[in-house]
Structure 1
Amino acid sequence: MKPNPVPDEQETVLWTGSYSGKAMIGQWVGVALLTVVLIVIGLLLGGVGVLVTGAIAAILWAITIGQWAIRKLGYAYELTNQRLKHRAGILNRTNDRIELIDVDDVIYKQGIVQAMLGVGDVSIRSSDVSNPELTLRGIDRVKEVSDMIDNARRAERRKRGVYVETV
């Protein structure tokens, strides 16, 4: 069944977002604890040991901050009343969009710590050929965002006269 044609409607941005550093809380805490251990070991060893353990700690922090930056700068999302746009990549970028009318299911997932921080992953299943499954990772206010996507999807389907049973 084809959706009913709808006159062109102004596309309105409902939400924009990207990866939240709160999703890496386990890694941040782990590197912080490891840094404390390295400082103690360095002080016990003295001399060159301080330099070596300090260098190891600096490398660990550089890797962690680098991972966060790649995730933060490498993914961006925009939800409008008609589609979900997503961009991936830093130097080589891929821009894609999923029409909300094609979205079949919206699920969010959180671990225990993520639930306490209000961050998590949103999984979207759609009939879109290029992106049948899309996961938005590390999304802040994950329940609110997943509800927003689902509500926009339902509104677009109602507007076009497409119901879940007909898709």
Structure 2
Amino acid sequence: MNCPSCASETDPNATFCQHCGARLAGDDAQAEQAENDAEFPVPVTGTDPRSKFQQAAAARQTDDDHLEEDVWNGCYSPKAMIGWWIAAGVITILALVAGVLYLSNHFGWLFLALLIGWAALGGRYAYRRFGVHYYLTNQRFIHEAGILWRRIDRIELIDIDDVTFRQGPIERMFNVGTIHLLSSDVTDPTMNVPGIDDVRRVADLIDDLRRKERRRRGLHIEAV
């Protein structure tokens, strides 16, 4: 018996051609059973709802976009605190001058207060630098915070509704800033991501990926 589609010799008892996959049998029940048992997907060219569903499912199986891949990762940039260091240095100089001129009897307490202030500022920097990390994939944004105790927040890119960023005057000089994510996430509907180096590029990257993910999910839902 020859296949009417490719003219190849086939098994007389076969329902589909083992060479091209064309349907040989006319019995719908046998055809459906053979399709379920086939080792390879049978080409579907019909326009009925069942055929459309099979075509959409086959398209999803061959779509590589569903594989999660790392796109970017980062942490708090040291340049983000340059403004704080400058302000702290100016305050320290003014306080020391005032202490020498007017508070000589309490200079020790003034020095201790300045020392505590610098220690607090250093601790703030150390926590943000070594305790906060960000990871971006083509499907999720992940925020890790903590040194001894760690908290990990994950936001699906498809749930992010808006991406903006903010820069102060000094931050603009060093190309750093804070990214704001507005989403429908239950835990953190509004997330601030401070100290991002090359902030405009990273914000645009997040926005582009969330748009791509929404288009991909939307096309599959519409097709099915």
**Which band: TM-score by shorter chain?**
0.7 to 0.9
Q: Which structure shows the higher strand fraction?
A: 1
Residue 184 of structure 2: aligned partner = 127
Number of residue equivalences = 160
Give the CA deviation at 1:39.
4.3
Residue 194 of structure 2: aligned partner = 137
Give the CA deviation at 1:144.
0.8
Amino acid at match of 1:33: V
Cα distance in 1 between the residues matched to 2:95 and 2:163: 43
Residue 165 of structure 1: aligned partner = none
Tell me if 1:85 matches 2:150. no
Residue 105 of structure 1: aligned partner = 162
Give the CA deviation at 1:51.
5.3
Cα distance in 2 between the residues matched to 1:23 and 1:95: 22
Structure of higher RCO (CA pairs closer than 8 Å, 6+ residues apart):
1
Give runs of aligned pairs for residues 1-167 of structure 1, distance below 5 A.
9-41=66-98, 53-161=110-218
Q: Which has the larger radius of gyration?
A: 2
- Which consecutive unaligned segments of at least 5 residues does structure 1 have? 163-167
TM-score by length of 1: 0.79
3-state SS in 1 of match to 2:191: strand
Amino acid at match of 1:15: W
Cα distance in 1 between the residues matched to 2:137 and 2:174: 26
Amino acid at match of 1:26: G
- Which consecutive unaligned segments of at least 5 residues does structure 2 have? 1-56, 220-224
CA-to-partner distance for each residue in 1:105-164, whole Å, 9 max, x for gaps?
A: 1011112222222111111111222221111112111111100100111121222226xx
Cα distance in 1 between the residues matched to 2:116 and 2:152: 32
3-state SS in 2 of match to 1:84: strand
TM-score by length of 2: 0.61
Cα distance in 2 between the residues matched to 1:30 and 1:127: 37
Amino acid at match of 2:133: A
Provide the alpha-carbon RMSD of the alignment: 2.7
Compared CA separation, residues 52 and 131, structure 1 to 2 (3 A):
closer
